[in-house]
Every structure is written in C-alpha cells, then in structure tokens.
Amino acid sequence: MKTAIGAAKSTSISLIFADFKEITKARLALSVVFSSLAGYLLGTQQVELLPLLLLAFGGYCMVGASNAFNQVIERDLDARMYRTRNRPIPAGRMTVTNSLVLAVLMTLTGVAALYVLNPKTAMFGAISIFLYTCVYTPLKTITPLSVFVGAIPGAIPFMLGWVAATDDFGIEPGTLFMIQFFWQFPHFWALAWLLDEDYRRAGFRMLPTGKKDRGTALQIIMYTIWMLVISVIPVFGITGRLHLSVPGAIVVFLMGMVMLFFAFRLYEKRDQVTARRLMLASVSYITLMQLVYVADKFM
C-alpha cells in the first residue's frame, strides 16, 4: 500500500515538473540562459561562480515568466492549434490563477536576482518581460510587425550577459544585441513558414507578407545578410573591448553562409523541407557563433 502511495506521489511530482517545463518553455529558456552566459564570459575580466549562477537563475526566471504570461493570455488561441493544445492551461492541467501566480513569482525573483548583479541588468530583464508580454503577444493577431517587436526581448539575453559582467551598456553589448536581433528574423520566419497553417488556425499573422512566397523568402535573405555582416564586424576593431580574430571571423562567416545558402534555397523552392533546414541551420548558427566568440576570447 505504501509503495503504491509513494509511486503515485512520484508520478504526481513528475507531472507537475513536466508542466512547469512546458509552461516556462524549458528548452527555450535554457537556450536564453546559454546566450546570457556567453555574453557574460565575453564581458567579464574575471570569471566568478556566483554571478554566473545569479545570471542563469535570473535569466531562466525572466524567460519562464514571459512564457507563462504568454500562455495565460493566449490560452484560448493555444487550444485551437495542434502544436499547443496540450499545453498545461488549455489541457486543463493548470488553472489560470496558478499560472499567473507562477509568472508573477518568477518575475519578482528573476528581477531580484538580476538586480543583485547590478540595476542595469535588472532593468533590461524587466523591459524584456514587459515587451514580450504586453506588446509582442497582443500584436501577434494584429500585424506581422509583432515579429519585429518580439525580436527586441529576444535579442536582450546575449547583451544582458555583458551588462551583468560590466554594469555598462555601450558599443560592445549593443553589437551583441544587434547580432541576435537580426538572427531572429530568418530563424522565426523559417519556423513560421513550417507552422503557417497552425498559426492561421489561431489567427496569428507571423509571416511578413502573410504568405509563404518569394517576398517572405527575400526578406529572410536580407535579414540573414545583415546578421552575417554584423557578426563579423568585431574583427575590424571598431567595437571596443569586443574583439574577434581573423580565424574566428572566418569561421563565423562560413557558418553564416550556410544559413544564407538555405535562405536562397527557400527563395528558390518555397517548400517545407527547405524551411526546416533553414530553421535547423539557424539554431546551429546562434549556438556555434556564441561558442566561437567565447573560445576566441580565451584561446
């Protein structure tokens, strides 16, 4: 009997944990934490454990709170889409009240953790939550320009790490922000291309032209080019303390060219397979690019 009760409790805890990961979008949140930590390593003069832990915790809370607020607001729309109908709120596993309490608690604890690092880091974290929740989310059913707004909080994490390490906002974190800002357009539009039918089911307008056409593919190409240019600018020595060696710049450039290749292929083929390849290439690019920047600094 006790064994059965223990097994039931264990199952219940595992389900709660699974719902927590779902409502905070754990994989996305961890990728944001990774970007923040990469930015910190680029900005710091001396690596310390406590700031890294505070940044990781605060960064996860920041993204988790944004996603929880988003799922509260979009619960009826999520129920319409195949991809999201099993999320905790539309599936009935979490109440709106509990989700809101979780989002508020994560906002407060996350901003507090970032404030311990320095007030500027906390400010940018709070701005990110506000823009994602109060501007990007409502705009998704109104205009494709929501992607532009959403790219701002999406670009903050890489920059946030530098600010956390230096308590300063200048050309260096500004450059990191712009790299991730322009990267988000080809990444997200490739994803939106794949999920276009599901998004339409919920009334979301995500593609820039509203269609999976050459106009959308052309914009993907242009933003990829901008991303590529800004990613290698530090090699010219004009971005303050943010440096990139010639070998590092060549590696970053070649990785960016892979993305650009798939962007041109999407313009040519306009099919799901190519859109998926572009999306996967973009995920690989942002992770490997940040690793190259960090390795380039310490090698």
Whether residue 1 lies inside any domain: the answer is: no
Residues 292, 210 share a domain: yes
Mean of pLDDT values over 40-67? 95
Q: How confident is the model at residue 248 (pLDDT cuts 50, 70, 90)?
A: very high
Residues 159, 283 share a domain: no
The predicted structure's pLDDT at residue 11: 62
Whether residue 158 lies inside any domain: the answer is: yes
pLDDT tens for residues 131-162?
999 999 999 999 999 999 999 999 999 999 99
Q: Which residue has the higher pLDDT, 177 or 12?
A: 177
The predicted structure's pLDDT at residue 14: 82
Residues 174, 156 share a domain: no
Last residue of a domain, one of 169, 202, 237: 169
The predicted structure's pLDDT at residue 17: 83
Mean of pLDDT values over 186-215? 93
Whether residue 150 lies inside any domain: the answer is: yes
Q: Which of 192, 91, 210, 90 is nearest to 150 (CA)?
A: 192
Q: Any idea what the CATH number is for the domain that residue 120 is in?
A: 1.10.357.140
Residues 42, 125 share a domain: yes
Mean of pLDDT values over 29-35? 94
Q: How confident is the model at residue 16 (pLDDT cuts 50, 70, 90)?
A: confident
Long-range contacts: 44-47, Cβ < 8 Å, 24+? 44/165, 44/166, 45/165
Contact 296, 244 (CB under 8 A): yes
The predicted structure's pLDDT at residue 13: 80
d(CA 23, CA 106): 12
Percent of the chain with pLDDT over 70: 96
Residues 219, 149 share a domain: no
Last residue of a domain, one of 125, 149, 169: 169
d(CA 65, CA 109): 10
Residues 251, 113 share a domain: no
Domain hosting 137: range is 12-169
Residues 184, 131 share a domain: no
pLDDT tens for residues 182-197?
999 999 999 999 999 9
d(CA 298, CA 292): 10
Residues 45, 98 share a domain: yes
Whether residue 297 lies inside any domain: the answer is: yes
The predicted structure's pLDDT at residue 4: 52
Contact 248, 42 (CB under 8 A): no
Mean of pLDDT values over 19-48? 93
For residues 163, 164, 167 and 173, what is the CA-based torsion angle, rounded to 10 degrees? -10
Residues 31, 136 share a domain: yes
Whether residue 132 lies inside any domain: the answer is: yes
Q: How confident is the model at residue 1 (pLDDT cuts 50, 70, 90)?
A: low
Residues 282, 187 share a domain: yes
Residues 290, 209 share a domain: yes
pLDDT tens for residues 68-112?
999 999 999 999 998 889 999 999 899 999 999 999 999 999 999
Residues 234, 97 share a domain: no
In Å, how far from its chain's centre is CA 33?
A: 9
Backbone angles phi, psi at 9, to 5 degrees: -65, -40
Mean of pLDDT values over 293-297? 95
The single-letter code of the amino acid at 31 is S
Q: Which residue has the higher pLDDT, 2 or 297?
A: 297
Q: Which of 37, 46, 42, 45 is nearest to 244 (CA)?
A: 42
Contact 263, 186 (CB under 8 A): yes
Contact 227, 179 (CB under 8 A): yes
Percent of the chain with pLDDT over 90: 87
Last residue of a domain, one of 100, 135, 169: 169
Whether residue 41 lies inside any domain: the answer is: yes
d(CA 61, CA 65): 6
Q: Which of 152, 154, 171, 149 is nearest to 162 (CA)?
A: 171
User: H-type helices in the chain, by residue range?
Assistant: 2-23, 26-43, 49-73, 75-78, 96-117, 119-130, 137-139, 146-166, 171-194, 196-202, 214-232, 246-269, 272-298
The predicted structure's pLDDT at residue 10: 56
Whether residue 288 lies inside any domain: the answer is: yes
